Amino acid sequence: MDIAPRAAGAAEAPSLLAYDRDHINELLNTLTQLDEQVGQPVPKRRLNDGIVGIEIAPERVVETGRFLRDVLGFELLSCISGVDMIEHLESIYEFRSISRNWLVQMRVKTPSNDPRIPSLVSVYSSANWLERETYDLYGIRFEGHPDLRRMLLEDDFEGHPLLKSFRTTPAVVHDRATTQVDAVRAISGEQQRGQERVVLKRLGQGQQERIHPGMTTFGNEAVFLETGQGVGSDANAMHGYTIDEQYLDPAAKPQEE
């Protein structure tokens, strides 16, 4: 019983059909058609939130995607993501049937040393940017993609940040957390004195430093020493630079007695 009467024209309560056991069993029975299409039994399992998971070999991705769309009525490819399992990479696809309220998750395994999966752009146009994002962050190459290039990081960025083997450069050493020191030192800020500002260098590439991949390069150390930009005051210490005497104004130096 509602505490307050529902206003006229108010939205109906969301349907829980996707979580119904019989509804999910119907989807599992329907997915058995994939076995004949692929030519071998397709692993299927019931996941949380009314999702059914299947596992497909890379060479069967396009065939399976077309079968899900044309035969089983999955009109939408809503998501493509990656997972680094160390010994291999996985690309995870989310297909949704809006008309029948079904959701299928397809997992595709590919070797970590040469991750390649056929592109689904020819079947689902939504795969365009989804595959580019997965390539950018995980390095999985989607063969047949019309424009496979980075979309979040700069074109000259080295590596793929969501791989577990990815290491930021330069290496950063942090001081102990303030919770590991006594309260007096933590409040006084003594523990933070001389600590490197890692935000400026966290996604640095080699000797070049960027605040984040979307901003321009400040310049490497050689350019810095050549131009002298930023040298001359203690305020520049936050950038990790030290004062070089050769760039100071001679007139500003204290006169020796």
Domain of 111, CATH number, reads 3.30.460.80
Cβ count near 64 (within 10 Å):
23
Whether residue 167 is contained in a domain is answered as no
SS3 track for 155-182? CCCCCCCCCCCCCCCCCCCCCCCHHHCC
Identity at 159, one-letter amino acid code: G
Mean pLDDT for the chain overall: 77
pLDDT of 146 > 80? The answer is: yes
Residue 122 and residue 43 in one domain: yes
Residue 116 and residue 184 in one domain: no
pTM (two decimals): 0.64
Residue 126 and residue 196 in one domain: no
Rounded CA separation 167/171 (Å) = 8
Residue 40 and residue 138 in one domain: yes
Query: What is the model's pLDDT at position 199?
Result: 45
If phi over 0 gives left and psi between -120 and 50 gives alpha, with beta otherwise, what is residue 144?
left
Whether residue 69 is contained in a domain is answered as yes
Q: Which helix (H) or strand (E) holds 54?
A: strand 52-55
Output the CA torsion sign for 73, 75, 78, 79.
Answer: positive
Tokens, residue 2:
């509602």
Residue 124 and residue 239 in one domain: no
Residue 128 and residue 208 in one domain: no
Residue 212 and residue 135 in one domain: no
If phi over 0 gives left and psi between -120 and 50 gives alpha, with beta otherwise, what is residue 73?
left
Whether residue 218 is contained in a domain is answered as yes
Whether residue 109 is contained in a domain is answered as yes
End-of-domain residue from the set 128, 143, 158: 143
150 pLDDT band, cuts 50/70/90, is very high
Residue 100 and residue 183 in one domain: no
Residue 40 and residue 94 in one domain: yes
Output the CA torsion sign for 212, 218, 224, 229.
Answer: negative
Identity at 155, one-letter amino acid code: D
132 pLDDT band, cuts 50/70/90, is very high
Residue 121 and residue 40 in one domain: yes
**Residue range(s) defining the domain that contains residue 217:** 178-249
Per-residue pLDDT reduced to its tens digit, 13-70: 777 777 888 889 999 999 999 999 888 899 999 998 889 999 999 999 999 999 999 9
Whether residue 208 is contained in a domain is answered as yes
Residue 128 and residue 185 in one domain: no
Cα 138 to its chain centre, rounded Å, is: 7
CA torsion 134-140-145-147 (nearest 10°) is 70
Domain count, the chain: 2
Q: Which helix (H) or strand (E) holds 134?
A: helix 127-138
217, 223 in Cβ contact below 8 A?
no
108, 90 in Cβ contact below 8 A?
yes
Whether residue 153 is contained in a domain is answered as no
End-of-domain residue from the set 143, 166, 196: 143
Closest CA to 213 of 146, 173, 160, 174: 160
Whether residue 7 is contained in a domain is answered as no
Residue 206 and residue 135 in one domain: no
Tokens, residue 145:
């993609």
Whether residue 32 is contained in a domain is answered as yes
